[in-house]
Amino acid sequence: MSVSESLNSWFDTHIDSLPRVPPHEDQTIESAIYMLLEGLPVGITEYNVPYRSIPFKRSGPVGWTYFPATDTGSRLARISYRSPRPNVYIRALVKLVDCESDDDDLSYTVHENAVLTIDALTAYGKVSHRGDKQENKRQKLHVRH
């Protein structure tokens, strides 16, 4: 099994194991996703959400990371989003299917569901050792094993 096929099978297994974002009776999926950011715990959380319902703005074409394609043409892509909360990073992992080739351009369709990752942990490491304080700029850590 190739790396790309392993990634696609991992994605299919992983997305089915994640909790879905269920809307309440009078709530849309978009508002349910915004509610995830309220009282967000420190850490990394993942959810299975409909791709077309993610309400955040993408970080532009630079925000896309493509993984190798399988023989059938499907592949995974990671998308970065602009977070409405500072120091919280939002990414989605999607499956691109139905590859069509037009000269040098490739065209894909995004699979219905995505793995939405909300990272409220990365910022704490940046604050600790990449802050603007002068005493942290050249600080070295020595780790004993």
Contact 119, 89 (CB under 8 A): yes
| pLDDT one-digit tens code per residue, 52-86 | 989 999 887 667 888 988 888 889 999 999 989 88
Contact 33, 49 (CB under 8 A): yes
Residue given tokens 């074409």 in the structure block: 61
Is 20 exposed, middle or buried, given 0-12, 13-18 or 19+ CB atoms closer than 10 A? Answer: middle
Q: Where are the domains of the chain?
A: 3-124
Give me the amino acid identity at 62: V
What is the pLDDT confidence band of residue 144, given thresholds at 50, 70 and 90? confident
What is the pLDDT confidence band of residue 7, given thresholds at 50, 70 and 90? very high
pLDDT for 39 beyond 70: yes
Give me the amino acid identity at 55: P
Give me the amino acid identity at 71: D
DSSP 8-class letter at 26: T
